[in-house]
Amino acid sequence: MSNPSASTHFAPQLYIPKGQTDIQFYINLGAIEIFCFRNDDGTIHVAELELDGAIFHVHETMSSTAIMDPSKLGAVTSIIGLFVPDVDAMMQKGIAAGAVEIDPAQDYDYGYRQGMFRDPYGHYWQIQKKIGLK
């Protein structure tokens, strides 16, 4: 992993329902757990994960952040765009790990191959690769 403090980058924070003890979906997707702080009862408070150099966090929903929990909101306000070398392989890995396919992978005239899935916590992931304009 490159030194994240040496460059500007995004690190999305995804909210998971309070009381979760397992974030295995993200590990099955290929993420490596950098750290995980747990509450006294063993539930996850916040974890930092890395997926092929892309850092992101999962955080339990708190009263001040409940509006950002897609499982409670019933909608999302952003989509995690993840660029990968093999869109189809990552789509398959996500679905095998428990994601729900929203859009199958396909090539688009604007020069991307993209597919989308929803993870078990309600977050939408657009898996993509630049392939060149048609």
- Ordered by where they begin, the domains of the chain are 4-130 (3.10.180.10)
The Cα–Cα gap between 64 and 45 comes to 14
The DSSP line for 32-87 is EEEEEEE-TTS-EEEEEEEETTEEEEEEE--TTTGGG-HHHHSS-S--EEEE-S-H
Q: Is 19:38 a contact under the CB 8 Å cutoff?
A: no
User: Considering the entire predicted model, what is its pTM?
Assistant: 0.81
Residue pLDDT, tens place only, 45-68: 999 999 999 999 999 987 776 677
Residues 22-44, mean pLDDT to the nearest whole number: 95
Residues 90-110, mean pLDDT to the nearest whole number: 96
**What's the whole-number average pLDDT of the chain?**
89
The Cα–Cα gap between 32 and 47 comes to 10
Tokens standing for residue 111: 């020069």
Residues 118-131, mean pLDDT to the nearest whole number: 94
Residues 65-73, mean pLDDT to the nearest whole number: 71
